[in-house]
Structure 1
Amino acid sequence: MTDYKYKYGHGYKEFSLPEEHVLGELKMKQMPPLENLKAAVLDALYHPIASAPINELVQPGMKIAFICNDSTRVANTHSFMPILVNEMNKLGVKDEDMHIVFALGTHRCMSHEEMVEQVGEDVAKRLKMYNSDCHVQDNFEYFGETEHGTPVWLNKHVCDAELVILTGTVVYHFFSGFGGGRKAVLPGVAAMETVRKNHSLMMSPEAKLGKLHGNPVYDDQVEGVRLFAKEHKMFLFHSILDAQKQFLKVFAGDWYEAHLEACKFVEQVYGVPISEPADVVIASCGGYPKDINIYQLQKTMDNAWCAVKDGGVIIILGECEEGSGSAALEKALEENPSPDAIKAELEKNFVIGAHKAFAITRLMKKAHFILVSALDKELAKKLLFESVDDVDAAMKLAEKYVGKDYKVLLMPQGSLTVPVLKK
């Protein structure tokens, strides 16, 4: 037997498996973390990708807006924001001429304490901070409509800036290819109807993990951001982290081109080759906040799905201290308790939150999903999951589907790693 200890909420879950059943443990490519973050940040700012250096873009007295991640996405913003802000000061921009807009998309508003935690106490004391609340329509300005019919409404706190700096990170995304880049703006600081219309394109078979060009969600987001970029200077600063949340590399420059370069790096680091799919996949989201609720945990489901055989079992370790994370998700599954019913309803009337019900249930057509979770058992059942308290109980359930002669792939970094089947 081999012992394992995987992240779960703020702690861990421990379990053991017979060695002969384990095909392997899928982990990110090992790379040395950055030794000097400040030096790397400054080098990226002054030697950017497809852009003039920061000192040619920034002028004394100009107004700058930083778009920053909300609490559901880890970018170590608190580590690099002081460096960025201090550098703007050196270039002649005062603290009172800079502000932060948190890219909530359709997520809940952050408390002041959560904002401080994201950007650090020093920056939080010096710069004004705003939530981009997608529900307050008066807070958004209109920039036109995309070819897909998405009305582009963006938060006025980025519209009144002379330079918008997009901060964040890049990981694989289950229907828009990769996160980061244009997503800081759309959906990050977009109005609800903008997000709803854009995300409705996820119903396309081309809207999938790791695909950018030809993915209608991505193409629509880029077109929407280009409408904004016609009138606004933009600059990207993104960090790539490892599973221990250490900085591996930073990217800066043109909001479009620099993001593409970051995506190539993510493919090298997060993409993990496998020789064959497994009967059973055991995946940890990586603990809090990746497993804060079902809404966030779904990303790990998508990644693990890439490694399982048809008819196999995926066991997800996710505490879900905030439950489902979406009343709309719960309502959608209560009213349409099957994958086909969810799809049919969304094709008629696309609703944010309910779209996660589609994202979850479409995966269930291929594999059985078992949660090791603190989620209420009745709620789990309503969400079409089987839920147990530990991995041993999950494996006993799994054997009912795959028998006792099974092979397992393990994903301790399930929210980050994407299994890629060797051709």
Structure 2
Amino acid sequence: MNQTILYGKDHLTVSLPEDAVLIEPEHVPAMSSPEKGVVDSLQNPIGTPPLKEMVQAGDTVAIVISDITRPTPNDVLVPLLIEELDHVPRENFVIINGTGTHRDQTKAEFISMLGQWVVDNIRIINNHCHEKEELVNLGKSKFGCDVYLNKEYVEADFRIVTGFIEPHFFAGFSGGPKGIMPGIAGIETIMTFHNARMIGDPRSTWGNMEDNPLQEMTREVNNMCLPHFMLNVTLNGAKEITNVFSGDLTQAHEKGCEYAKEHAMVKCEERFDVVITSNSGYPLDQNLYQAVKGMSAAHKIVKENGAIIVAAECADGLPDHGNFARLFSMADTPQELLDMIEDPDFHMFDQWQVQKQAVIQNWADVYVYSKLDAPQIEQAMLKPCPDISETLTDLKQAAGENLSVAVLPLGPLTIPYVDE
């Protein structure tokens, strides 16, 4: 059978065995009028007064957004926020791009993310996690580090965080407090949040919020300088808004996570020999660093010593920022990478993504179909996949006719699991 899977800004058509199992989240149609849905939510939020009543005309307002690696529809959300606060002068607003450890966005990218009017009329800055003069030290975290957040955010009279909610491979769910921590945090704080002990904790996984140490830390940091208002959405596979959650950070995010979990988590009766996954297409499949999320979703249901095939365009390379590529040159095998990263004396940013990837590679072989050339894929200790159907044929010849195959067309927008 032929099956389309998300890839880049379009999709791939893949030829699969007739008995391949298709695993998708429940399809939720887009809101008939997302703009009306957002405005209704801002005027009738969860756990707070209406947004307009909370902001004084003379207030400075910081709006934190997620960066270009996330499909948050900020071109819809941000103009509606500013319109709802039309009693506040435009010069009182600042939009802070929550880059975490990622690269700055260009003006052209901001136009694509926010629209021309916002770029022309509202001041926009990138968070710089390494620039201490752009950060404020808020004190000590119980997790053992100083807490640094973006100075303009901390000093604003009114603070808003935007985002979208989906299952996350180590934080349980995205959105909510993650927009602030690690989105606009300093490198020391981010490194603790992503250290080997936190990432390696079995509670740091898809869909788990109750005792997840990463959620515990991100909530702690947020409480040191709380956003006054949250605006988050959920999206379907076409990146369309399906629901809106706004108001109190904790209450609204909790409601959004419940909604996302209901539609995204899919139970499987058993594991599969091969799992084919996308990385949910653009913008999440821009680079190999982000593609670890698709691998991680597949890891949930692939057999030990099985195979994962991930289709991620990787138009932005491995990427160039950070230490992701460099880390692979520091060991010869995934297990050596894990041993190095789990050494208490070892600290290097981007190690968290490599740690997750190495755990997956110790469980199953990982093949990558992308625009990367074979040496780049091999540099990351992964196996090139020039043709998905041919790779499947090779795996079937090696394993026999009874090879079981599953496909995640939407990648980590679907979180499959097996009760074990």
TM bucket normalised to smaller: over 0.9
Amino acid at match of 1:174: F
Residues 38 and 83 in structure 1, CA contact (< 8 A), matched pair in contact too: yes
Quote how far apart the aligned CAs of 1:104 are. 0.3
Task: State the identity as a percent.
Answer: 28
Residue 263 of structure 1, aligned match among 243, 252, 257: 257
Q: Which residue of 2 aligns with 1:244?
A: 238
- Does 2:3 match 1:4? yes
Residue 149 of structure 1, aligned match among 118, 135, 144: 144
Residues 143 and 153 in structure 1, CA contact (< 8 A), matched pair in contact too: yes
Quote how far apart the aligned CAs of 1:422 are. 5.6
- Does 2:387 match 1:394? no
Q: Which residue of 1 aligns with 2:36?
A: 39
Q: Which residue of 1 aligns with 2:370?
A: 373
Residue 62 of structure 1, aligned match among 39, 59, 63: 59
Quote how far apart the aligned CAs of 1:271 are. 1.0
Quote how far apart the aligned CAs of 1:117 are. 1.3
Residue 27 of structure 2, aligned match among 26, 30, 38: 30
Question: Secondary structure of the equivalent of 1:364?
Answer: helix
Residue 161 of structure 1, aligned match among 151, 156, 177: 156
Q: Which residue of 2 aligns with 1:355?
A: 352
Residues 313 and 401 in structure 1, CA contact (< 8 A), matched pair in contact too: no
Question: Secondary structure of the equivalent of 2:396?
Answer: helix
Residues 150 and 198 in structure 1, CA contact (< 8 A), matched pair in contact too: no
Matches within 5 A, 1:278-297: 278-297=272-291
Quote how far apart the aligned CAs of 1:159 are. 1.4
Q: Which residue of 2 aligns with 1:183?
A: 178
Quote how far apart the aligned CAs of 1:55 are. 2.9
For residues 224 and 402 of structure 1, what CA distance do their matches in structure 2 show? 49
- Does 2:103 match 1:127? no
Q: CA RMSD in A?
A: 1.6
> Per-residue displacement from partner, 1:273-302 (whole Å, max 9, x unpaired)?
222221111111232222111111111111
Amino acid at match of 2:4: K
Quote how far apart the aligned CAs of 1:401 are. 5.2
Quote how far apart the aligned CAs of 1:5 are. 2.6
Matches within 5 A, 1:194-233: 194-200=189-195, 201-229=198-226
Quote how far apart the aligned CAs of 1:252 are. 0.3
Residues 314 and 370 in structure 1, CA contact (< 8 A), matched pair in contact too: yes
Residues 278 and 407 in structure 1, CA contact (< 8 A), matched pair in contact too: yes
Distance change in 2, residues 1:401/1:134 (3 Å): farther
For residues 269 and 76 of structure 1, what CA distance do their matches in structure 2 show? 19
- Does 2:379 match 1:382? yes
Question: Secondary structure of the equivalent of 2:335?
Answer: helix
> Per-residue displacement from partner, 1:219-261 (whole Å, max 9, x unpaired)?
11111111112xxx51100011100011100000111221111
For residues 397 and 156 of structure 1, what CA distance do their matches in structure 2 show? 54
Number of residue pairs matched by the alignment? 415
Residues 290 and 415 in structure 1, CA contact (< 8 A), matched pair in contact too: no
> Per-residue displacement from partner, 1:328-385 (whole Å, max 9, x unpaired)?
1222121122233222222331321122111101011221111112212112112111
Residue 344 of structure 1, aligned match among 336, 339, 354: 339
For residues 397 and 362 of structure 2, what CA distance do their matches in structure 1 show? 17
Residues 13 and 390 in structure 1, CA contact (< 8 A), matched pair in contact too: no
Give the TM-score, by structure 2 length: 0.95
For residues 273 and 328 of structure 2, what CA distance do their matches in structure 1 show? 27
For residues 79 and 63 of structure 2, what CA distance do their matches in structure 1 show? 12
Quote how far apart the aligned CAs of 1:309 are. 1.5
Question: Secondary structure of the equivalent of 1:28?
Answer: coil
> Per-residue displacement from partner, 1:182-213 (whole Å, max 9, x unpaired)?
11111000111110111112132322222223
For residues 332 and 38 of structure 2, what CA distance do their matches in structure 1 show? 48
For residues 27 and 363 of structure 2, what CA distance do their matches in structure 1 show? 31
Quote how far apart the aligned CAs of 1:76 are. 1.0
For residues 142 and 210 of structure 2, what CA distance do their matches in structure 1 show? 15
Amino acid at match of 1:15: V
For residues 387 and 7 of structure 2, what CA distance do their matches in structure 1 show? 11
Structure 1: runs of 5 or more not aligned: none
Residues 33 and 247 in structure 1, CA contact (< 8 A), matched pair in contact too: yes
Moved over 3 A (4+): none
Give the TM-score, by structure 1 length: 0.94
Q: Which residue of 2 aligns with 1:17?
A: 16
Most deviating of 242-251 and 26-35: 26-35
Structure 2: runs of 5 or more not aligned: none
Residues 166 and 175 in structure 2, CA contact (< 8 A), matched pair in contact too: yes
For residues 387 and 110 of structure 2, what CA distance do their matches in structure 1 show? 34
Amino acid at match of 1:297: A
Residues 27 and 272 in structure 1, CA contact (< 8 A), matched pair in contact too: yes
For residues 419 and 337 of structure 2, what CA distance do their matches in structure 1 show? 33
Residues 280 and 294 in structure 2, CA contact (< 8 A), matched pair in contact too: no
Residues 314 and 367 in structure 1, CA contact (< 8 A), matched pair in contact too: yes
Residues 299 and 308 in structure 2, CA contact (< 8 A), matched pair in contact too: yes
Distance change in 2, residues 1:397/1:350 (3 Å): farther
Distance change in 2, residues 1:367/1:179 (3 Å): same
